């Protein structure tokens, strides 16, 4: 019996490695063939990478919220995609009003900062409320309970926003200062993408500094490492958990506005796919690990942006760009199978011990 089990186990494992190896081979063959044909110029590749960085920066900002909440509560906040959606949704109403009144044209930077602030405040408020109302009462309940609550909260928020603001796609106004291109080291780069990348990097640097240097940031790390010991050091654990939700909300709200600038439109379901992608990014980087989420987000963004053109195209797949979501989720499954701890992750067993 024992032996049979072991044989079956190795059998599955062989099958998994074959699948993994097969996918890797497809990626390599596809890439070589695309590059050999020379379908895209280096200028185009650069565009793919810059777009990938912008998109990856947004994934990374969202992924931070997943990873911090997991690090501190061991729970996946499935409503985080909706926290991300809420910011730019509310921000939209401010943006559109300021655009109509001409304020956007008169004060482009100030108006942009106002919308950013609105988005960040909205997402943070929703994140903190969610923790307070839905998750805190369940602390100490079996793990499945908050998880199911999170899924419920996710639907609740989606349909709350649909009910309040309608199901239509809302188009963000244009900021003239963000249109067009700027030359950087002799290459023309879209201004919007550049701004998104710079803003994402600044926000991440700010968050990292906060967590590393400030007293409250250190409390977040202490509670994530050992909640009871942190309480014995005089840290208010409940407040610190709320702070980690707030930090996740700030990053998600900012990410949401950057998303609105990059893709120009928002609607009540917009949090779903980026949310799952960012979760993938967090797992990729090692869930619970803050720099890992940043790295994972950037990596996924670039991989998704160049992947379809690089290896799907070379395999002769028609309309490869439609398959970019398949790439992300295949990657999630592969990471979970072959390296569940992620790129920077440590073994969960040692962490929880």
Answer for which of 96, 134, 237, 323 binds another protein (CB under 8 A) is: 237
| Dist. CA 52–CA 321, nearest whole Å | 13
Number of residues that bind another protein (CB under 8 A): 18
Answer for which of 195, 196, 222, 293 binds another protein (CB under 8 A) is: 222
| The CA-based dihedral angle spanning residues 123, 129, 134, 139, taken in that order and rounded to the nearest 10 degrees | 100
Residue 218 touches another protein, criterion: CB under 8 A: yes
**What would the x/- binding string for another protein be over residues 11 to 40, using CB under 8 A?**
------------------------------
Residue 231 touches another protein, criterion: CB under 8 A: yes
DSSP state of 168: S
* Tokens coding 28: 């390599």
Instruction: CB nearer to another protein: give 67 or 122.
Output: 67
Decide: 9 and 326 in contact? Cβ < 8 Å: no
Stretch that binds another protein, among 34-42, 79-87, 203-211, 236-244 (CB under 8 A): 236-244
Stretch that binds another protein, among 6-14, 76-84, 212-220, 321-329 (CB under 8 A): 212-220
Instruction: CB nearer to another protein: give 191 or 221.
Output: 221
| Dist. CA 112–CA 235, nearest whole Å | 37
Alpha helices in the chain (DSSP H): 2-37, 42-73, 80-100, 103-106, 108-130, 144-165, 191-213, 215-225, 227-232, 237-263, 272-285, 290-307, 324-338, 348-352
Answer for which of 64, 69, 199, 219 binds another protein (CB under 8 A) is: 219
Answer for which of 36, 232, 319, 349 binds another protein (CB under 8 A) is: 232
**What would the x/- binding string for another protein be over residues 238 to 257, using CB under 8 A?**
x-------------------
Reduced to 3 states (helix: H, G, I; strand: E, B; else coil), residue 74 is coil
Minimum Å gap between C-beta 214 and another protein is 11
Neighbours of 150 (CB within 10 A): 21
State CA 327 to chain mean position distance: 16
| Dist. CA 146–CA 167, nearest whole Å | 28
Answer for which of 142, 234, 316, 318 binds another protein (CB under 8 A) is: 234
Minimum Å gap between C-beta 232 and another protein is 5
Stretch that binds another protein, among 20-28, 81-89, 192-200, 218-226 (CB under 8 A): 218-226
Write phi, then psi, for 182 (nearest 5 degrees).
-125, 140
Stretch that binds another protein, among 91-99, 155-163, 179-187, 227-235 (CB under 8 A): 227-235
Instruction: CB nearer to another protein: give 235 or 262.
Output: 235
Instruction: CB nearer to another protein: give 135 or 259.
Output: 135
Length of the chain: 353
CA atoms within 13 Å, Cβ hemisphere of 290: 21
Residue 221 touches another protein, criterion: CB under 8 A: yes
Beta bridge partners of 190: 181
Decide: 80 and 65 in contact? Cβ < 8 Å: yes
Q: Give whole-number Cα distances, 262 to 53, 175, 205, in Å.
A: 12, 11, 21
Instruction: CB nearer to another protein: give 222 or 250.
Output: 222
Residue 5 touches another protein, criterion: CB under 8 A: no
Residue 215 touches another protein, criterion: CB under 8 A: yes
The binding site for another protein (CB under 8 A) comprises 215, 218-219, 221-222, 225-226, 228-238
């Amino acid at each position: 019996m024992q032996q049979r089990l072991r044989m079956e186990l190795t059998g599955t494992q062989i099958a998994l490695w074959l699948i993994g190896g097969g996918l890797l081979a497809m990626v390599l063959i596809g890439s070589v063939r695309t590059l050999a044909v020379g379908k895209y110029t280096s200028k185009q590749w650069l565009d793919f990478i810059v777009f990938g960085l912008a998109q990856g920066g947004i994934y990374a900002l969202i992924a931070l919220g997943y990873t911090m909440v997991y690090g501190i509560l061991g729970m996946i906040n499935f409503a985080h995609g909706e926290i991300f959606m809420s910011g730019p949704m509310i921000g939209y109403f401010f943006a559109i009003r300021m655009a109509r009144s001409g304020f956007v044209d008169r004060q482009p930077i100030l108006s942009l900062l106002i919308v950013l602030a609105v988005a960040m405040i909205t997402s943070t408020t929703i994140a903190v409320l969610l923790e307070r109302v839905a998750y805190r009462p369940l602390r100490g309940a079996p793990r499945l309970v908050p998880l199911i609550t999170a899924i419920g909260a996710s639907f609740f928020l989606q349909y709350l926003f649909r009910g309040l603001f309608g199901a239509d796609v809302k188009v963000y106004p244009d900021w003239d200062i963000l249109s067009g291109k700027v030359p950087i080291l002799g290459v023309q780069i879209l201004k919007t993408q550049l701004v998104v990348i710079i803003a994402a990097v600044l926000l991440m640097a700010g968050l990292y500094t906060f967590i590393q240097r400030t007293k409250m940031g250190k409390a977040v790390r202490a509670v994530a490492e050992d909640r009871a010991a942190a309480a014995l050091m005089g840290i208010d654990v409940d407040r610190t958990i709320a702070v980690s939700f707030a930090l996740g909300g700030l990053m998600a709200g900012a990410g949401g506005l950057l998303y609105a600038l990059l893709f120009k439109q928002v609607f009540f379901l917009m949090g779903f796919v980026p949310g799952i992608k960012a979760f993938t990014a967090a797992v990729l980087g090692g869930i619970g690990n803050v720099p890992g989420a940043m790295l994972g987000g950037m990596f996924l963004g670039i991989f998704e942006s160049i992947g379809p053109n690089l290896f799907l195209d070379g395999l002769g797949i028609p309309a490869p760009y439609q398959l970019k979501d398949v790439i992300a989720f295949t990657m999630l499954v592969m990471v979970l199978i072959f390296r569940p701890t992620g790129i920077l992750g440590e073994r969960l067993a040692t962490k929880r011990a």
